[in-house]
């Protein structure tokens, strides 16, 4: 008995009928990125584990519970990429992009891997598009990155968008907050989950991001970081808000946002559609230095492609599905089949998307198949057409026909591509 093979749990096939949705999201993102002068960069699908344990933070759920880490044949610990930022910082440092004129503005579209509970909107292999901007400490770049994310979502057709922002402070003011938070949590220490107990001394702020209900109940009245900001962080946050006001972008200051990664400093943000987070990001001013590079600031964001597509479907937003085939060429007889084969080849050279009858279908069955494909035009090539050196093109949308000489394939192209 044959073994029935299935995709691993938490992974999903992208089927041909869905490809246009992915292309729509990715192309929209790329086009908006170009208007902001953001260039593409690609990094390997796996990295040395240290890139993420040091970069993402060893007290995060990602590092503690979710990374796909293994030893390669050289006994080196490597990890499938769980997110894009740390890998981009590694590449930025290794390729000495910090020596170029700043800021360096980059985008990516990547698969990412996290071993987490599979549920709606969460997969173990998922895909992200994101932006990283290196080299500027100005609040204006925070606002520009947020604006680019918002514009991408609006270009996709999403309307019910809510921007939430917060400030996580810096190494100067965060220690005071951590002490206040630990003092608050101490009375309820025994009620914390085991993971949060391990975070209590090293990184108590990470407890605020715990998904366990009992921990969320304990932290709901915890002190907020905004009450402990130093003058520099307070000034930076106020200027970010000023720039958002200049752009007319409404926002909510939400002290409950901490994000799930340790590298964030100062500005962080999330964009919600209804109550569903579709984008998140922020500033990470110490990560480049922490991974061995120069002291240099950075800010970025990521949005999940599967989650975006799911949100577009939920909102009833129709994603354009362009005709894959401009012209379907049916045939009658062996000579018609051979001529159709050559005609399709010549038209493809001119940029016309063509399909021919590779299944020996009858004319009626071939036209039924062409209609199922959603082609723009159809035609039939048989003995009469070859003798007269003319074909009739039928526009499928309204049934209108056009008689064209086989000697002028440029005219065929002009009709079917109009």
- 264 annotated binding-site participant: yes
pLDDT of residue 8: 92
Give this prediction's pTM.
0.89
pLDDT of residue 2: 60
Q: Which residues does 180 contact at the CB level (< 8 Å), separation at least 6?
A: 223, 228
pLDDT of residue 392: 97
- 299 is written with which tokens? 């800010």
- 114 annotated binding-site participant: yes
- 85 annotated binding-site participant: yes
- 42 annotated binding-site participant: no
**What does the alpha-carbon distance between residue 332 and residue 162 come to, in Å, rounded to a whole number?**
59
pLDDT of residue 117: 82
Q: Which residues of the chain have pLDDT under 50?
A: none
- 284 annotated binding-site participant: no
- 177 annotated binding-site participant: no
- 128 annotated binding-site participant: yes
Give the CA radius of gyration of the chain.
28
pLDDT of residue 331: 96
- 259 annotated binding-site participant: yes
pLDDT digits (tens, 9 = 90+) for 221-254: 889 889 999 999 999 999 999 999 999 999 999 9
Domain extent listing, the chain: 16-173+229-314, 327-416
Determine if residue 286 is left, alpha or beta; phi over 0 gives left, psi from -120 to 50 gives alpha, anything else beta. Answer: alpha
- 315 is written with which tokens? 């909102």
Strands 39-40 and 104-113: parallel
- 297 annotated binding-site participant: no
Q: Do 16-173+229-314 and 327-416 have matching folds?
A: no
Class of domain 327-416: alpha beta
pLDDT of residue 275: 75
Say which CATH topology domain 16-173+229-314 has. BirA Bifunctional Protein; domain 2 (3.30.930)
pLDDT of residue 86: 94
């Amino acid at each position: 008995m044959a073994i029935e093979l299935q995709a691993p749990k938490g992974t999903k096939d992208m089927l041909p009928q869905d490809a246009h949705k992915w292309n729509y999201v990715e192309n929209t993102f790329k086009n908006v990125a170009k208007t902001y002068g953001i260039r593409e960069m690609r990094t390997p699908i796996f990295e040395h584990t240290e890139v993420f344990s040091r970069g993402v933070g060893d007290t995060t759920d990602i590092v503690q519970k979710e990374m796909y880490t293994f030893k390669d044949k050289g006994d080196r610990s490597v990890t499938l990429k769980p997110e894009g930022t740390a890998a981009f910082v590694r590449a930025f440092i290794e390729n000495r992009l910090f020596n170029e004129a700043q800021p360096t503005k980059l985008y990516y579209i990547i698969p990412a891997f996290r071993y987490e509970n599979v549920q709606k909107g969460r997969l173990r292999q998922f895909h992200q598009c994101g932006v990283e901007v290196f080299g500027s400490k100005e609040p204006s770049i925070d606002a520009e990155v947020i604006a680019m994310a918002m514009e991408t979502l609006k270009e996709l057709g999403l309307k019910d968008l809510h921007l939430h922002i917060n400030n996580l402070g810096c190494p100067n003011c965060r220690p005071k907050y951590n002490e206040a938070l630990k003092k608050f949590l101490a009375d309820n220490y025994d009620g914390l989950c085991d993971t949060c107990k391990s975070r209590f001394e090293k990184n108590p702020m990470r407890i605020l991001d715990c998904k366990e209900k009992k921990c969320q109940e304990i932290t709901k009245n915890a002190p907020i970081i905004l009450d402990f900001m130093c003058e520099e962080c307070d000034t930076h946050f106020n200027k970010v808000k000023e720039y958002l006001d200049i752009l007319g972008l409404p926002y909510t200051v939400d002290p409950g946002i901490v994000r799930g990664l340790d590298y964030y400093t100062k500005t962080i943000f999330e964009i919600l559609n209804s109550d569903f987070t579709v984008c998140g990001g922020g500033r990470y001013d110490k990560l480049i230095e922490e991974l061995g590079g120069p002291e240099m600031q950075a800010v970025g964001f990521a949005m999940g492609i599967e989650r975006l597509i799911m949100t577009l479907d939920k909102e009833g937003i129709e994603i354009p599905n362009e005709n894959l085939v401009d012209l379907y060429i049916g045939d009658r007889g062996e000579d018609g089949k051979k001529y159709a084969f050559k005609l399709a080849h010549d038209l493809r050279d001119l940029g016309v998307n063509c399909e021919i009858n590779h299944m020996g279908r009858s004319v009626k069955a071939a036209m039924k198949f062409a209609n199922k494909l959603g082609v723009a035009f159809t035609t039939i090539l048989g003995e009469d057409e070859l003798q007269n050196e003319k074909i009739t093109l039928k526009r499928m949308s309204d049934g209108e026909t056009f008689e064209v000489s086989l000697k002028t394939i440029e005219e065929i192209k002009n009709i079917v591509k109009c």
